[in-house]
Amino acid sequence: MNVPTILSGPRVGTLLGLIALIPAVTCDAQTDNWPQWRGPLGTGVAPHAQPPITWSEDEHVRWKTSIPGRGHSTPAVWNDHVFLTTAVPTGEAFDPIYSQAPGAHDNAPVTHRQKFLVLALSRLDGTVIWQRQVRQAIPHEGGHFTSTFASPSPATDGRFVIACFGSQGLYCLDTDGNVVWEKQLGQMDTKHGHGEGTSPVLFGESVIVNWDHEGDSFMVVLDKRTGQERWRKSRREVTSWATPIVVAHDDRQLIIVCGTDRVRAYDLKTGEVIWKCGGLSHNIVASPVAANGIVFVGSSYEKRAMLAIRLTGAKGDITDSDQVVWQRNRATPYVPSPLLYQGTLYFLRHYQGILTRVTAETGEELPGPIRLGQIRDVYASPVAADGRIYISDLDGQTLVMSSDPIPRLLAMNRLDDSFSASAAIVGSDLFLRGRRSLYCLANTNKSDDTKSSP
């Protein structure tokens, strides 16, 4: 198969014509911020932002702040605050504890007690406004060597901050760092002991958590103000790492969540399963996206699978029915979630630097696939803004390309870090959380600002 390499070309300006999405949120405060995993629309898109195209350690870094410990969580950004989670080893090292999970492989051992922290940083200069330890414990499993103990991303509505550390608890804090409530959901035993990663979803007055593991799996919805459970539904599912989305359709809100057995749509208010659809693989990692009455889901483990599911008329078990508008069985996403932008679905093959684009409505493949030059191992999900696509990798590189019908390479940027966390974009700022530091990249330098991070 011919896989062309993306070529250099002139920069492009703003491209207009965002598609009509089915967003979980619609007010300006939401769409002008990055409130949770995959952004304000749940698609990886910042609809009003104009982030930089080029940067380096010496160019367009507004600030760079060292973050203690490790975490792959994406920052949640609301106005002047940037919220982040991390896990910090503490105390003396002890004899390594290795995962005893069936089929465990490529796992890192537990060697330290961990402090689980939620941080708030100033968006202006990167200083730490507050840092709150919500728990200290010895994790029961170490996770895959590519994972961390703080992989789920926080969510915020500007008043509350929801942070999930899986087996170490679910926490609601106010924006001053005070713990409002906490909830222990039990011990999560993941497949192969590979660790926890599903992010909480904050929608309206509800906090949504999917708890798929090798034990008794469930979906739970809690009141964001009190932590009281509104409903809990058992799920016939094994471990998954995909985060749900909320989609408005036919005067109801649907929680869409992927699973090995079925993709399911739950009524947010009641927990009723409205429809379910089989066809994905094991080891579900990529989160779904939705637009124009269609939900797009994909996986890539022992088999490749991607489905486009029409919401209108979907009820009961719709596996292999006409509700599946299109499907494909090659070059589907595994770790990075798909990006849905301007009517096009972008996704990486497995977690390699090969990008496929299809027309969302029909599934028709656009020219490509595209080999992304130096980009290799990609765990961060692609994001988009202002007619541009951003893809970061483990080597500290971020490729920026245009969203033109024939994409053009706009920049290949490198920083002295490694990126597994997906980027967040707000206004003129692009936030990249690395293994060691959180970067705020903008079309200014530190020296251009009157207030800068030390």
CA 86 to chain centre: 16
The CATH number of residue 339's host domain is 2.130.10.10
The torsion angle over the Cα atoms of residues 288, 45, 80 and 125, rounded to 10 degrees, is 110
Q: Which amino acid is at 134?
A: V
Considering the domain boundaries, does residue 11 fall inside one? Answer: no
8 Å CB contact between 83 and 139: no
8 Å CB contact between 438 and 419: no
DSSP string, 27-48: SHHHHTSB-STTTTTTSSB-TT
Mean pLDDT of 396-410: 97
Q: C-alpha angle 203/206/208, rounded to 5°?
A: 85
Amino acid 266: pLDDT = 98
Amino acid 446: pLDDT = 59
Which strands sit side by side in the sheet containing 263-267, from one edge to the other? 245-249, 252-257, 263-267, 273-277, 316-317
- Mark 31-58 as b/e (b = at least 16 C-beta within 10 Å): bbbbbbbbbbbbbbbbbbbbbbbebeee
Q: C-alpha angle 386/387/388, rounded to 5°?
A: 95
Query: Which tens digits make up the pLDDT trace of 212-261?
Result: 999 999 999 999 999 999 999 999 999 999 999 999 999 999 999 999 99
Helix (H, G, I), strand (E, B) or coil at 377: coil
Q: Is 453 a residue whose pLDDT tops 60?
A: no
Query: Which tens digits make up the pLDDT trace of 323-343?
Result: 999 999 999 999 999 999 999
For residues 351 and 283, what is the distance between their CA atoms, to the nearest angstrom?
13
Considering the domain boundaries, does residue 87 fall inside one? Answer: yes
174 versus 443: the higher-pLDDT residue is 174
Strand 155-156 relative to strand 160-164, pairing = antiparallel
For residues 95 and 109, what is the distance between their CA atoms, to the nearest angstrom?
9
Considering the domain boundaries, does residue 453 fall inside one? Answer: no
The model's pTM is 0.92
Strand 273-277 relative to strand 263-267, pairing = antiparallel
Query: Which tens digits make up the pLDDT trace of 108-121?
Result: 999 999 999 999 99
Domain carrying residue 271: 28-448
Amino acid 448: pLDDT = 46
* Total domains present in the chain: 1
Mean pLDDT of 273-282: 97
27: confidence class by pLDDT, cuts 50, 70, 90: low
DSSP string, 194-233: ----PPPEEETTEEEEEE-SSS-EEEEEEETTT--EEEEE
Considering the domain boundaries, does residue 22 fall inside one? Answer: no
Considering the domain boundaries, does residue 18 fall inside one? Answer: no
Considering the domain boundaries, does residue 324 fall inside one? Answer: yes
Considering the domain boundaries, does residue 411 fall inside one? Answer: yes
Considering the domain boundaries, does residue 114 fall inside one? Answer: yes
Cβ count within 10 A of residue 226: 11
8 Å CB contact between 53 and 428: no
Q: Is 170 a residue whose pLDDT tops 90?
A: yes
Query: What is the maximal distance between C-alpha atoms in the chain?
Result: 60
Residue 31 dihedral angles phi and psi, to the nearest 5°: -75, -20
Helix (H, G, I), strand (E, B) or coil at 166: helix
Q: Is 20 a residue whose pLDDT tops 60?
A: no
Amino acid 264: pLDDT = 98
For residues 300 and 335, what is the distance between their CA atoms, to the nearest angstrom?
8
Single out the residue of 322, 279, 324 nearest to residue 300, CA to CA: 279
